[in-house]
């Protein structure tokens, strides 16, 4: 990694208050084999680790800080924990988020070829051979997604001007000063 890139990454890590998790230093070769859905996404969405014999499903034990807490792992984790994660949203799934993203792109009028690329789909039809993603397609989608993002920040700001999540709080404060 180039030194300038390393410096930018370290600065971003410091700004968002990233805390490295204990465990393997690299992701699996493919996300489906990484355990991300089972051991990271699902616990974050539901607040529960799934059943894995001989252990039953159990709440995610976490440290008290930094917010929202860091999962405590290993033997006796629940005794060492200071809190447990609460669910983000019932029935929230990674696959459901893919459906939501696809639906949003449909609403924005995104060309099918760009939607397929973003979703990781391979369209083998004859028509797909003649359609190609262009830089202007990507730029327009990014503008549209940015507008949706700003609207969501405005909606969140209307609910409450602050957040205990550092990165969200910073984004809300920046958005409030822009308005």
95 touches 41 (CB < 8 A): no
Q: What's the average model confidence in pLDDT over 93-122?
A: 91
pLDDT, tens digit, 9 for 90 and up, residues 7-59: 888 888 888 777 665 444 444 444 456 777 788 888 888 888 899 888 899 88
Give the closest residue to 107 by CA, choosing from 70, 82, 141.
141
- Which pLDDT does position 116 carry in this prediction? 92
Say how far apart CA 153 and CA 144 lie, in whole Å: 14
Q: What pLDDT shows up at residue 22?
A: 46
The terminus-to-terminus CA distance of the chain in angstroms comes to 38
Q: What's the CA gap between 99 and 34, in Å, rounded? A: 21
Question: Within its chain, how far is the Cα of 64 from the centroid?
Answer: 21
- Confidence at residue 28, expressed as pLDDT on a 0 to 100 scale: 44
Residue whose token pair is 């060492």 = 80
153's tokens: 């920040």
pLDDT winner (highest mean) among 50-64, 72-86, 111-125, 133-147:
133-147
Mean pLDDT (the chain, rounded): 84
Looking at the chain, the whole-number percentage of residues with pLDDT higher than 90 is 35
Tokens 């920046």 belong to residue: 174
Of 39 and 147, more confident: 147
Q: What is the reported pTM?
A: 0.63
Helices (H), the chain: 3-16, 31-34, 36, 42-46, 77-80, 94-108, 112-119, 126-130, 135-159, 166-178
Strand 83-84 and strand 61-62: pairing? antiparallel
């Amino acid at each position: 990694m180039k030194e300038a890139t390393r410096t930018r990454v370290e600065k971003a890590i410091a700004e968002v208050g990233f805390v490295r998790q204990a465990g393997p230093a690299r992701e699996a070769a493919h996300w489906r084999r990484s355990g991300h859905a089972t051991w990271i996404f699902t616990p974050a969405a539901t607040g529960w680790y799934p059943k894995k014999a001989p252990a039953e499903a159990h709440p995610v034990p976490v440290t008290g800080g930094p917010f929202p807490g860091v999962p405590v792992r290993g033997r006796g984790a629940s005794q060492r924990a200071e809190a447990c994660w609460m669910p983000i949203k019932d029935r929230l799934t990674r696959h459901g988020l893919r459906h939501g993203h696809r639906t949003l792109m449909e609403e924005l009028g995104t060309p099918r070829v760009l939607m397929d690329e973003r979703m990781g789909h391979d369209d083998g039809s004859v028509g797909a051979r003649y359609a190609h993603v262009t830089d202007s397609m990507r730029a327009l989608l990014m503008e549209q997604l940015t507008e949706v993002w700003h609207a969501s920040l405005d909606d969140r700001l209307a609910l409450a001007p602050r957040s205990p999540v550092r990165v969200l709080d910073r984004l809300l404060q920046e958005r409030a000063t822009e308005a």
